[in-house]
Amino acid sequence: MVTDLPVVAVDGPAGSGKSSVCRGVARRLGLRYLDTGAMYRAATWAVLQAGIDVTDSDAVATFSQSLNIESGTDPFAPTIHVNGQDVSDPIREDDVTASVSAVSAIPGVRAGLVQRQRDEVMAATAAGQGIVVEGRDITSVVLPHAHVKVYITASAEVRAQRRAAQDHDRGAGERDVEATRAELISRDTKDSSRAVSPLTIAPDAVVVDTSDLDLEQSIVAVCALVVP
C-alpha cells in the first residue's frame, strides 16, 4: 500500500490514551480516523447477542463472517454499526470488555477485520485524505509500511485512573482504580501473549509515553512525528 498521503499507524495498550490522541491528531491534520478496537468490540457484542460461546473459535469465526461492521472515519463524529445498528454505546459495556480479548485472538475474526481495515485506508487515500489508524497490531500487521508508526503507552497506574474516569463520565458509576489497574494488566497479558497478531512494539515505531503528558501535549507530540 504505497501512497504519498499520510498513513499513521498507532498501537498501544488499553487506557493509554490512544483513541483521544488519535482523534485529536486526525482533527488537527485533516485526516480520517479509524478505531480498529471498536471493530473487534462490535464483533464481540454481536457474538454475545447471538448467544455464542466466545471460547468456541470455529463458531465465532464463522459467525463473524456474516457481520457487516461499518466504521465511520470522521474524527469529529466516529461511528460503529453492526448490520446497520448503531452499537457505539453497548460495545463499551463490561460484558464486551471482558470478552473482547478472547474474540480478537481468533484468527478467523482477525483475518476478516484486517482486510476491512486496509480497505478503509485505501478508501481514505483514494478520496485524497490520509488517515490515522489505531489498534493493537496496526504497525506490525495491518499497515507495516505506514509512513509513521507510533506506540502510545502510559504506566498502569495512570491508565487505570484514566479508564476509571472514562467509565464514570459515560455513566458507568464509580470504579475502583486498583481493580481497574488489575483488569488492564490482565488485558495487557492477553493481548501481548496471543498467538495471532499480538500487541508488540514494532522496531521502527516511535514510543510516546503519555504518563506525564496531558491530552494536548500528547497530540502535539504525535503531530510532530507526522509533520516534523
In a domain, 167, yes or no: yes
Half-sphere exposure of residue 219, counting CA atoms within 13 Å on the CB side? Answer: 14
Q: What are the start-end ranges of the H helices in the chain?
A: 18-29, 36-49, 57-64, 94-104, 107-126, 156-169, 177-193, 215-226
> Model confidence over 37-79: pLDDT tens digits?
999 999 999 999 999 999 999 999 999 999 999 999 999 999 9
* Grid-cell match 506506540, residue found: 151
Phi, psi of 69 (to 5 degrees): -100, 120
pLDDT of amino acid 209: 97
Q: Tell me which residue of 39, 33, 40, 44 sits closest to 10, measured CA to CA.
A: 33
* Torsion sign across C-alpha atoms 140, 19, 103, 73: negative
In a domain, 124, yes or no: yes
pLDDT of 1 over the 80 cut: no
Given a contact cutoff of 8 angstroms between Cβ atoms, the answer to whether 21 and 148 are in contact is no
In a domain, 172, yes or no: yes
For residues 175-183, give the mean pLDDT: 83
In a domain, 156, yes or no: yes
CATH number at residue 216: 3.40.50.300
Angle between helices 36-49 and 57-64 (to 10 degrees): 110
31/157 Cα distance (integer angstroms): 31
pLDDT of amino acid 40: 97
Domain that includes residue 140, residue range: 7-226
In a domain, 1, yes or no: no
pLDDT of amino acid 14: 85
In a domain, 141, yes or no: yes
In a domain, 2, yes or no: no
Please give the order of strands across the beta sheet that includes 69-72: 69-72, 79-82, 85-86
153/7 Cα distance (integer angstroms): 20
Between CA 25 and CA 180, with CA 86 as vertex, the angle to 5 degrees is 65
CA 128 to chain centre: 23
16/86 Cα distance (integer angstroms): 25
Q: What is the mean pLDDT of the chain?
A: 93
Domains: count for the chain: 1
